[in-house]
Amino acid sequence: MRFPTRLLAANAYFALLLFAGYVVVVAVIAAGVAVFGTLSQSAWEAAVQLPRWYALFTGVALVRQYLPMYVAHGQTRRQFGAQAAVTVALFAPFLSALITLGYLLEALVYNLAGRPQALDKVHLFTEPTQVPLVFVEYLLEFVTWIVSGTFIGAGFYRWEGGGLLLIPVGIGLLLLNEGAVGTDHLGLPFIGDRLALDLPHSLGLALGVGAATFVLGLALTWSIIRDMPIRNRKS
């Protein structure tokens, strides 16, 4: 089995289908708000909370679903770990490009409708049309959400219920990235402001922290899967 090309292509194709459908759903909701209420800010900004969770569970599936499959077809755990890192490194910018495209499509529609595309939260960018900064911000977020998913998924696969103990570590990676980016977008109601990290707001720091969480998340995942037994699926 060719890896990561087939896995990456399959995930990218599925993400593209979801993106197309999601754009339609968000557009319908935004149109409803515009007709029956007041639409004065970016609807896409609020909508991109959900793709973060999609990225998280993509990371979970990478270990829980695909590691046993590829090991059963002759891949070593070391080969899988290295190639999974490549998959994450390529899939995260693909998702980021889709989110960036969503902002641009929204900007076009808002301009035609004469609506302001105001932002409600703090970002690396100040305007949704600042394409490089929009792309970088969501790239850093998706990288962190995916590797947090691989780490947590590996824990649940190896220790089943014991994987619950790894969730705080995964959340810690997310908080570290959010603090560096200067945003507060986790969307977790049980995470209060007191847990937010108030780090200096700079692009260089955000890139450095994003790279660090990518490496750390994959290293933690590798520490779990390097000698992890492969269980037979229950019939």
Neighbours of 205 (CB within 10 A): 15
Neighbours of 216 (CB within 10 A): 17
- Chain CA centroid to CA 213, Å: 13
Instruction: Give ∠ CA 22-111-24 in degrees, rounded to 5.
Output: 15
Most confident of 65-79, 85-99, 169-183: 85-99
Alpha-carbon Rg for the chain, nearest whole angstrom, is 19
- Report the percentage of the chain scoring pLDDT > 70: 89
- Closest by Cα among 183, 149, 179, 152 to 166: 152
> If you average pLDDT over every residue of the chain, what do you get?
87
Q: What are phi and psi of 41, to 5 degrees?
A: -145, 170
The 10 Å CB-count burial string (b at 16+, else e) for 53-92 is ebbbebbbbbbbebbbebbeeebebeebbebbbebbbebb
What does DSSP assign to residue 163?
G
Block residue for tokens 């197309």: 20
- Report the percentage of the chain scoring pLDDT > 90: 53
Q: pLDDT band at 37, cuts 50/70/90? A: confident
Confidence at residue 235, expressed as pLDDT on a 0 to 100 scale: 44
For residue 233, give both structure tokens.
């699926």
Amino acid at 221: T
Confidence at residue 137, expressed as pLDDT on a 0 to 100 scale: 94
Confidence at residue 40, expressed as pLDDT on a 0 to 100 scale: 79
Contact 217, 144 (CB under 8 A): yes
* Between 188 and 105, residue with greater pLDDT: 105
Confidence at residue 69, expressed as pLDDT on a 0 to 100 scale: 87
- Tens of pLDDT, residues 2-30: 666 778 888 999 999 999 999 999 999 99
Average pLDDT over residues 169-193: 74
Report the interhelical angle of 203-225 vs 131-159 (nearest 10°).
20
Confidence at residue 34, expressed as pLDDT on a 0 to 100 scale: 83
Q: pLDDT band at 169, cuts 50/70/90? A: very high
For residue 192, give both structure tokens.
């209060």
For residue 73, give both structure tokens.
């077809």
